[in-house]
Amino acid sequence: QVQLVESGGGLVQAGGSLRLSCTASGNIFRLNTMGWYRRAPGKVREFVVGINSGGVPNYADSVKDRFVISRDNAKNMVELQMASLVPEDTAEYYCFAEVLLTNRDPRTKERLAYDAYGQGTLVTVSS
């Protein structure tokens, strides 16, 4: 239905910066909130940041003041600029998008909602 393609992960030293990008494609009528989760080795998935269609962000306390999210609605893209990285930021980062599809429910005729996730991009921060 909807595909999310991430890019930009890699290895960086503590204190460094990285930028992640995520582009959505498919049966998209409207992209609502987009953002990122992460899963560190041996830990549960953690919400990192989301940004609604109006551009209002919501950051986890652990990344506030270090990460900045932005989106380009014309390109169906969201970017995450990460700075002052620490080893605790090491994780697989997954883009997500809350999507209103072009598809409609055959009974109600309402457009269908769909939660899309990317395949993940690895961020490793060395000490």
- Over residues 52-84, the pLDDT tens digits come to 999 999 999 999 999 999 999 999 999 999 999
Q: pLDDT value at position 73?
A: 95
Confidence class for position 27, pLDDT limits 50, 70, 90: very high
Q: pLDDT value at position 24?
A: 97
Rounded mean pLDDT of the chain? 96
- CA 72 from chain centre, in angstroms, equals 13
Q: pLDDT value at position 86?
A: 97
Q: pLDDT value at position 30?
A: 95
pLDDT, mean of residues 84-95: 97
Q: pLDDT value at position 25?
A: 97
